Amino acid sequence: MKAETAEVIARQLVAEYNKGSPDWVETCHAESTQWIELPFLGGPGRRGGRAELRQAAELQVVNFPDRRMEVLNIVAGGDQAALEVEWTGTAAQQTAWAAKGATLTLRAVLVLKIANGKVIREVDYVIPMP
């Protein structure tokens, strides 16, 4: 796989995510995808396959309907890409991380492995910004 292809797929993931629907999961991830979100704000972290990622995406749309990712940096090569993104969203309701109406800003690195034009593994490293 060419580095450009990995970068294009990574950018497509962000563009689909920013449409505001959890459908980005099926659009961008293979059915057999593996997903890991490392522990965040004292939580245990999450992991699973495409179904678990879809559940997390659905919850995120409910809690932060205006959430967006902005690409700050991409490093791509072979069948992998790493994205540094700034994530922002306004809490539509009280969540474990934000009061209703509060804007949450996070910095994240998403490490993607790609095969046949789809993400087959995503590992998310997320930290809150002051």
pLDDT digit string, tens, across residues 106-128: 999 999 999 999 999 999 999 98
Third-level CATH fold of 3-128: Nuclear Transport Factor 2; Chain: A, (3.10.450)
pTM of the predicted model, to two decimals? 0.93
- Report the b/e string of 78-112 with b at 16+ CB within 10 A: ebbbbbebebbbebbeebebbeeeeebebebbbeb
How far is the C-alpha of 111 from the C-alpha of 121, rounded, in Å?
Answer: 8
Domain boundaries, the chain: 3-128
Q: pLDDT-based confidence at 4, cuts 50/70/90?
A: low
How many contiguous H segments (helices) and E segments (strands) does the chain have? 3, 6
The residues pairing with 108 across neighbouring beta strands, listed in sequence order, are 85, 126
pLDDT at 3: 54
pLDDT in tens, 65-77: 999 999 999 999 9
CA angle 100, 84, 50 (to 5 degrees): 70
What integer best gives the mean pLDDT of the chain? Answer: 94
